[in-house]
Amino acid sequence: MLQDKITQYTEEIKAFAPSSAQEVEAFRLKFLVSKGILKNLFEEFKTVSSDEKRVLGKVLNEFKQLAENTFKDASEKFSNQNEGQTANAEGDLTLPGQGFSLGSRHPLSLVRKEIVEIFKKLGFVVAEGNEIEDDWHNFSALNFAPEHPARDMQDTFFIKKQDGNEMVLRTHTSSVQVRLMEAGKPPFRAIMPGRVYRNEAISARAHCFFHQIEGLYVDENVSFADLKQTLYHFVKELYGEDTKVRFRPSYFPFTEPSAEMDISCTICKGAGCQMCKYSGWVEILGCGMVDPNVLDNCGIDSKKYSGFAFGMGIERITNLKYEIRDLRLFSENDVRFLSQFETEII
């Protein structure tokens, strides 16, 4: 009979005195799971007569509360014991935890991110490309004549010929500009960050690999005034409103007219120091209007469209921002140097 079963199980629960968490779990599996004793008793309760239900309903509910409370009390008991043991072994777990250091961000990564964010606000998107390039995208499409000095072994790392093309480690990220213009139609407004390679002796001021960010804007009626105002804004955002800017005429095969842009030295504030060679000015980038030949090489009508381009070395920008005087520090992985920069804690 149902009454006899309830009485039997009630006595068993009242006598339950677990000595381990495993016994508590066994109690739960026996009485409280979907196929346990409690569930079976309620299924059997559905089959008794109406008169018996009025009597057994209360008894069965009291049995259910007894089983659930017994399991709850036993679970809390062993949970508290485990917490006490852990606290004794490892210390006070109520104390606030300590964060894990993820290490410092590399200064070049910090500056690259800051530059990208400035130009993103002006509507520039980020484009990236291959570090191994062919002659056309690295040189010829950019108006480099076959006899141009930059093609000599002293400047470029040549790898091998592939399908008749000379393959090189790219010497600038301008190759990404070519691929961008070949693959789409104007307008283009993009910046191209990346690593580049040149066959140079490693010193405090030069390295065989370094990082560049180049920019390109091509549309109808783009002028040199647009270029100047874009770069003025960039310098003021990066170095501050008091930074002075000047443009000097220069020459690049892929731009005409071309210029180099100088800023007042951020280290000596224009008074003169080793970084600016005591001139008070530091050159930070080259720029100019995209040569019509480059537009035509990329399948863009140079009579309808014009554009400007610029390129800067991230190492030079970082030197000025953090007053770092030796380029070799960026690639030596010295923790003492890297730990001086922004660190994230989680």
Give the residue ranges of the annotated binding site for Mg(2+): 256
Residues contacting 256, CB < 8 A, separation 6+: 288, 289, 291, 292
Which DSSP letter does residue 329 get? G
Which DSSP letter does residue 96 get? P
Q: 179: closest CA among 217, 148, 124, 136?
A: 136
107-120 and 314-322 are packed helices; what angle lies between their axes, rounded to 10 degrees? Answer: 110
Which residues carry a binding-site annotation? Answer: 256
β-bridge pairing 188-197 and 125-126: parallel
Q: Which pairs with CB-CB distance under 8 Å and at least 24 residues apart come from 295-302?
A: 295/181, 295/218, 297/140, 297/141, 297/142, 297/143, 297/178, 298/141, 298/178, 298/181, 298/182, 299/181, 299/182, 300/181, 300/185, 300/186, 300/218
CA–CA separation, 234 vs 310, rounded Å?
Answer: 12
Q: Which residues pair with 248 in a beta bridge?
A: 260
According to DSSP H, which parts of 189-275 are helical?
A: 224-239
Q: Nearest 5°: phi and psi at 169?
A: -75, 125
Strands (E), 107-244: 125-126, 132-134, 158-162, 165-169, 188-197, 209-219
Q: 293: closest CA among 280, 279, 307, 283?
A: 307
Question: Residue type at 134?
Answer: D
Half-sphere exposure of 183 (CA within 13 A, CB side): 10
In angstroms and rounded to an integer, the radius of gyration of the C-alpha atoms of the chain is 37
For 217, other C-beta atoms within 10 Å of its C-beta total 23
